[in-house]
Structure 1
Amino acid sequence: MTHTPLLIDRAPLPGGSVETWTLNDPASRNALSEAMVDALLAACERAAADAGLRGVVLRGAGGHFCAGGSLGGFAKTIGQPLAAGEADPLVPLNRRFGTLLQALCALPQWLIVAVEGAAMGGGFGLVCCADQVLAHSGAQFATPEVTLGIVPAQIAPFVVRRLGQAVARRCLLTGERWDVATAQRAGLVDEVVAGDMEAAVQTAIARHAAAAPQAVAATKRLLQAQTDTPLPALLDAAAMAFAQALRGPEALQGLAAFAARKAPPWSAKL
């Protein structure tokens, strides 16, 4: 029987759907194998072109979120130098994970990450791509790469974007483990869930579903561009996005609903 590294479940929302993407390798605490990275990239590519998809929830199976990168396939390469002139196959494999992190950040839909158990290394990087992070009160977070003689290569820019330089240096250069309270103080976690995670996820979905889909997509594009676009060009793009939104159907529906004290057609009840 073929193992499915990523489970995808689709449920209806007003004006579209929401998908839950579940990392599915409980035996490894959902370590990021090549197959899992490929499945996530394929899901991101499909979602980016899916006008009916309003949001994504990313979580892990078996009581853990993600234990980080899977080094099982690289066991024979550890400590082994390359022959002269040999191209290193580890480089494109590692870079592909960076491509995944970029794709998650660039999703036009809102992305909720629900963390239970461990979120380590590459799993920590996945968390940094979220628009909202829910974490169970027993969750644990760390970037332990440097304590293992490894570089947190692809996740580092995303950790800096999420946490800022000072906090990113602290966690990336020490590999210290954070409980959920520390992660919340650092800005990694938005909401701590002491009870039922599923109920918390549904509440978060309803909260995000109050926002118009195209307005969300345009806002996320602006947020994504902020890090690498000069401010004048960014403000020009923002003005264009504002004008396009105001002239579009969502603003017409949303402002009319506000004036009538009704919910807009895309809104889900809490």
Structure 2
Amino acid sequence: MTAAVLLIDRVPLPSGCVETWTLNDPASRNALSEAMVDALLAACEHAATDADLRGVVLRGAGGHFCAGGSLGGIGQPLAAGDADPLVPLNRRFGALLQALCALPQWLIVAVEGAAMGGGFGLVCCADHVLAHTSAQFATPEVTLGIVPAQIAPFVVRRLGPAAARRCLLTGERWDASAAQRWGLVDDLVEGDMNAAVEAAIARHAAAAPQAVAATKRLLLAQPETPLPALLDDAADAFAQALRGPEAPQGLAAFAARKAPPWSAKP
């Protein structure tokens, strides 16, 4: 039996649950095969409508996060008039990056070892990035004569234009400290990554699920939406939150100096 290329582990929280999605092809350092992209897209599709899911942790098996795209189809000649199958394959990876950014839950990415090319792109979709001191980051596509096609907009969104140009146009490698200085990594982890992930989950689980989803929608819309329209949407989201179930519970808990019902704290 072929091992699953994506492992999903669901763990309950005091309210709802959290899933860990583990890229599982250690022999290739978890390269992004077509099967792995499809499995991640399916997981995103399910998560988008899962009311019990509070957050997602994305990791890699075998001491590495993700070595980038699987390039097995490159170099095969095309017959005259044939459509290039690499185009929809590459575009599907872009759809995955969009789906990860659009998750209504918080997304924590935990990086150990290599995060290269497409793996770098996955990191750019995170709400919070943990990197072990062993982590190495790069977008080496241009040094191989390849275009970092689908990841480029997400790298710009995460790092800003100047830092994105630096990494995308040179392919230089960053250790975890450099990646933190350039804004890719939030927290460095010197010891046990599992403990660091648990601490990050506890911090994020203090936030109300519906408020998180609404805030993420606003953040995602911000680059493309004119400011007046964005502020109109934000006002609607604010009013809906105050009139919804979470704000009264959160404000009452604050007044009583208690944890709100969705919090992971005892």
Quickly name the TM-score band, shorter chain normalised. Answer: over 0.9
- The yes-or-no answer on 1:94 pairing with 2:90 is yes
Deviation track 1:98-142 (CA, whole Å, cap 9, x = no partner) reads: 000000000000000000000000000000000000000110000
CA drift at 1:60: 0.1
Could you tell me how far apart the structure 2 residues matched to 1:182 and 1:129 are?
A: 19
CA drift at 1:75: 4.3
Q: Aligned with 1:35: secondary structure? A: helix
User: What's 2:174 paired with?
Assistant: 178
Q: Aligned with 1:211: secondary structure? A: coil
1:17-56 paired onto structure 2 within 5 Å: 17-56=17-56
User: What's 1:160 paired with?
Assistant: 156
Could you tell me how far apart the structure 2 residues matched to 1:238 and 1:99 are?
A: 26
RMSD: 0.9
1:119-268 paired onto structure 2 within 5 Å: 119-268=115-264
Could you tell me how far apart the structure 1 residues matched to 2:229 and 2:81 are?
A: 43
TM-score (norm 2): 0.98
TM-score (norm 1): 0.97
Name the amino acid aligned to 2:232: D
1:2-81 paired onto structure 2 within 5 Å: 2-72=2-72, 74-77=73-76, 80=77
Unaligned runs of 5+ in 1: none
Could you tell me how far apart the structure 2 residues matched to 1:57 and 1:114 are?
A: 7
Deviation track 1:192-242 (CA, whole Å, cap 9, x = no partner) reads: 000000000000000000000000000000000011111111000000000
Could you tell me how far apart the structure 2 residues matched to 1:75 and 1:249 are?
A: 52
CA drift at 1:24: 0.1
Could you tell me how far apart the structure 2 residues matched to 1:75 and 1:185 are?
A: 34
Identity %: 86
Could you tell me how far apart the structure 1 residues matched to 2:80 and 2:29 are?
A: 37
CA drift at 1:87: 1.1
Q: Aligned with 1:133: secondary structure? A: strand
Number of equivalences: 266
Unaligned runs of 5+ in 2: none
